[in-house]
Amino acid sequence: MRQLVRRHLGKVMAGGAIAVAGTALMVAVTLPGTAGADENADDRPGQSQGDSAGQSRQGDPSEQGEQGRAEGGKAGAGQDDGQRQGSADADVPPPAEIQAAPTEGEKGIGSDPLTDDELKQAERLASAGDLRRAARDVEGDRGPELLYTNLQEPDPNAPAGQANRMAEVVFYDYDQEATVTKTVDLGSGKVLDTVTTRGAQPPPSQGELAEAARLLIAHPLGRDLKKDFRHATGKNLTEPGQAELSGMIFRKDTTLKVPAVLKDCGKNRCLSVVFKVKNGPWIDTRANIVDLSARTVGRLG
C-alpha cells in the first residue's frame, strides 16, 4: 500500500499527469474550468473527452493549478485508502497454530477422564477372581465381555483433594446371561462393590457388534446384505472388518410379532446390527436380529 501512496505523490510533483482511474477521471471532470474543455472535445473527432481535457489543462496555467490540487486530492485519497487497508489488515487474526496434545499422565485428577493406565488398572482389577474363571464372553471364551468403563463421580462429602478416583466397570457374562457392574477404587486398588443383574441390557460393545455381523454374514438371511455390499463396492463381503458397524439392543417386547427364533430376546443378548460401506452408503439390515446368546439369526416382519 505504501507503493500506491508514492505513485500518487509522484503525479503531484510531476503535475499534469493524465487520470487513469475511473474515480480520478470523475474528479478531474467536475473541477471548475473543465466544462469548456469537454465542449471542445466534442468538436474534435477521434479524441476522447479524457484526452481533450488533459490537453486543455496543459495549455491553461490556471487549470494546471487546479490539476495540482486534484492530483493532491487523489494522493490524499490514496493515503486514506492505505490507512483504511492497514486498519483492516490489523483486524485479521493471525493464522491458527496447532499444538500437540499434552502428555497424558499415569493418573488423572478430580473429574479428569480416565487415563489409559487407569483404564487398564480398573479393568484388570474388576475382571480378576471368580468372574474371570467362570464367566464367558461373546465368543464363548473364558472371562466376561467388557462393555465399557466410566469414571464414577467423586464423593461430594469427601474433603477437598482427598477423594480417591473411582471407576465403574461393566461386563456381560454370557454364561449367566447377566450384567456385572464393579466399582473400583483406583487409589487403593480395591473392588468396593459388585452388582449382578439379569434382564438389564446395556449398549453393545464393539466386540459384540463384530460378532453379530459375523453371524449375519454367514447366515442365509445375510444374502441380501452381501448382494447390496457387492453392488456398492464390487467386492464380496466376507468379514465384519470390511464395513463400519453400529447397532442397538433388541428386546422382544418392543415388537408385536416376533419369530420363534427370537422369543428369548431380552433375556438373551440380542442385537440389531447395521452396516455402512466405508466412505459409502448405509445398508439397511435393521430387520435382521442376531441372538448372540443362542448364536442364531431371525428376521422381523
Query: Which tens digit of pLDDT belongs to each residue from 158-178?
Result: 666 667 899 999 999 999 999
11/72 Cα distance (integer angstroms): 8
Give the orientation angle of helix 22-29 with respect to helix 61-91, to 10 degrees: 140
pLDDT at 183 over 70: yes
Select the more confidently predicted residue: 79 or 13: 79
Select the more confidently predicted residue: 3 or 300: 300
User: Strand pairing of 270-277 and 243-249?
Assistant: antiparallel
Q: 40-54, 241-255, 273-287: lowest mean pLDDT where?
A: 40-54
Does the 116-197 domain belong in CATH 3.10.450.40?
yes
Select the more confidently predicted residue: 201 or 93: 201
Q: Which residues contact 88 (CB under 8 A, 6 or more apart)?
A: none
Instruction: Tell me the mean pLDDT in the region 198-226.
Output: 96
Residue 51 φ then ψ, to 5°: -65, -45
pLDDT at 213 over 70: yes
Instruction: Tell me the mean pLDDT in the region 47-71.
Output: 44
Average pLDDT, the chain: 77
Instruction: Tell me the mean pLDDT in the region 124-151.
Output: 95
Model confidence band, residue 82 (pLDDT cutoffs 50, 70, 90) = low
Q: Which residues contact 275 (CB under 8 A, 6 or more apart)?
A: 213, 225, 229, 243, 244, 245, 282, 283, 285
Instruction: Tell me the mean pLDDT in the region 185-203.
Output: 94
pLDDT value, residue 127: 94
pLDDT value, residue 28: 38
Own/partner pairs for 234-239, CB < 8 Å, 24+ apart?
Answer: 239/214
Q: Which residues contact 204 (CB under 8 A, 6 or more apart)?
A: 147, 212, 247, 248, 249, 271
Selection from 293, 289, 91 nearest residue 179 by Cα: 293
Q: Which fold has domain 206-299?
A: Nuclear Transport Factor 2; Chain: A, (3.10.450)
Model confidence band, residue 90 (pLDDT cutoffs 50, 70, 90) = low
**Within the chain, which residue ranges are assigned CATH 3.10.450.40?**
116-197
pLDDT at 100 over 80: no
Most confident of 104-118, 146-160, 269-283: 269-283
pLDDT at 106 over 90: no
pTM over 0.95: no
Model confidence band, residue 284 (pLDDT cutoffs 50, 70, 90) = very high
pLDDT value, residue 103: 63
Instruction: Tell me the mean pLDDT in the region 68-78.
Output: 49
pLDDT at 218 over 70: yes
pLDDT value, residue 220: 97
* Share above pLDDT 70 across residues of the chain, in percent, rounded to a whole number: 66
